[in-house]
Structure 1
Amino acid sequence: MTTAQEQDVVELLLEQHNEIKNLFSQLSTAQGDRKRELFEDLVRLLAVHESAEEEVVHPIARRRIQNGETVVDDRLREENEAKEALAELYELGVDHPEFDGKLRALAKDVIDHATHEENQEFPQLRQNLTADQRRRMAGAIRAAEATAPTRPHPGVGESAMAQLLAGPPMAVFDRVRDAVRDWRQSNRDD
């Protein structure tokens, strides 16, 4: 097994893509509190993952892969659409009658998006960056995730600069909301 220090950016992102796919799969059959917990996990993972990609991966891909501008612009468009759909699902809540249908549509779009990254960006990152550069990018991804928002904020923008400026304040706000929500849920029976 690869340690965190040895893992490169492509390995890290592929691992996260698999975790996202697994959460979608579990969500498709979950009910009640378990469904709510899984959805909250999915929201957090997608928000943090996409913010980190926008800060770290896409700027490098834009400069270092063939047709980087076009490839990255297409991925950013997909990510923004997913953020909007995820924000809508978050507002609807898991008990809303339209939730499951909208979640299936989001799952398809997110998995298609991941497949595009895996086929268009990742092979070229492996080809055009050294192993050390890819390992350092994985470290940068982890650092970006530590300060990333835990909810989608479609109005923030997809550029690395927008994420760097708005991400940390939104992350603090999101993490306070998460802590209050978790506290309320753990004290429901009191």
Structure 2
Amino acid sequence: MTNPRGDGLRPVADQSEDERGGPGSILSRQSRDHADLDALMRAHDAETDPDARGRLVAELAERALRHAFAEETVLFPAYRHHLPEQGEALTAHIEGDHQRVNELLVQLQDADPRSAGYDALVRRTFETIRHDARDEEDDLLPRLQRVASPQELRAIGAAWEVQRRTSPTRPHPGVPRRPPGNVLAGVPLAVSDRVKDAAEHLLGPRAARGAGRAAAVAGGALALGLAVRALRRR
């Protein structure tokens, strides 16, 4: 067992699953997802075929974006609630990382893996994702663990997982990084992205763009309906 740091925080990697609050805790869920992202990055670095590397980057992008969106809608508000004096500064830093990742992934989305500068762009993206994961596992999650009960950590983890599974799958740098703006934008974008994903798989990128626009209109109507319903409950 690794000794705690001077501030008494123990990185998530140095804790057993029981210490983290069990497999459903936000600490355990985040750690597993970070490990999956790192495995994709290592697989990319070991791959020599440009097309295969492009597919690995696309898979990584989808997973990283869903992971980050769930943090912004569930985990970061929990930080700000449980750590009112520190949460703002702690989450603002990682929200900045998320914005940079979105911007980098927009560039990678249409880039040719054989083109000059592609590898450098991938390196910058990977470095930002790894930096984000280290900040969360070494600092933010242990701080939350210190003030939240295991039951609360598991409740946050369950909500985070639901959001992760229903989040947008493509980069959207213009979307707000905080609720309620990101939540309202996320509904039509999630619908649009999944329609694009399916259309691209079946018909190719050009058809995906048209299908995505139609889905965004339908998703926007759904988001508006949800917002109106929420206001009526108040």
How far the C-alpha of 1:175 sits from its partner, in A, is 0.5
- 2:93 alignment partner in structure 1: 74
1:165 corresponds to 2:177: no
Alignment of 1:27-38 (within 5 A): 27-30=44-47, 31-38=49-56
**Contact map agreement 1:75 1:113 (CA 8 A) in 2:** yes
- 2:106 alignment partner in structure 1: 87
**Contact map agreement 2:51 2:113 (CA 8 A) in 1:** no
Change (3 A) 1:126 1:148: same
Q: CA RMSD, aligned part only?
A: 1.9
- In structure 1, C-alpha distance between the alignment counterparts of 2:113 and 2:80, rounded to whole Å: 37
- 1:42 alignment partner in structure 2: 60
Find the partner of 1:7 among 21, 24, 31.
Answer: 24
Alignment of 1:101-112 (within 5 A): 101-112=120-131
- 2:79 alignment partner in structure 1: 61
State the identity %. 25
- 1:24 alignment partner in structure 2: 41
Change (3 A) 1:6 1:114: closer
- 2:12 alignment partner in structure 1: none
Deviates more, 1:63-72 or 1:154-163: 63-72
- In structure 2, C-alpha distance between the alignment counterparts of 1:43 and 1:156, rounded to whole Å: 16
- 1:188 alignment partner in structure 2: none
- In structure 2, C-alpha distance between the alignment counterparts of 1:145 and 1:60, rounded to whole Å: 16
- In structure 2, C-alpha distance between the alignment counterparts of 1:143 and 1:93, rounded to whole Å: 33
User: Per chain length, whose mean CA-contact separation is higher, i.e. which structure has more relative contact order (CA < 8 Å, sep 6+)?
Assistant: 1
Alignment of 1:94-173 (within 5 A): 94-173=113-192
**Contact map agreement 1:148 1:171 (CA 8 A) in 2:** yes
Give 4+ residue runs of structure 1 displaced > 3 Å after superposition. Answer: none
How does the TM-score come out when normalised to structure 1?
0.89
Per-residue Cα deviation, 1:154-174 (whole angstroms, up to 9, x for no partner): 101101212210111101111
How far the C-alpha of 1:95 sits from its partner, in A, is 3.2
The one-letter code sitting in structure 2 at the alignment partner of 1:51 is F
List alignment gaps of at least 5 residues for structure 1: 186-190
**Contact map agreement 1:28 1:100 (CA 8 A) in 2:** no
Deviates more, 1:71-80 or 1:23-32: 23-32
Per-residue Cα deviation, 1:104-130 (whole angstroms, up to 9, x for no partner): 111111101111111221101211111
List alignment gaps of at least 5 residues for structure 2: 1-16, 205-234
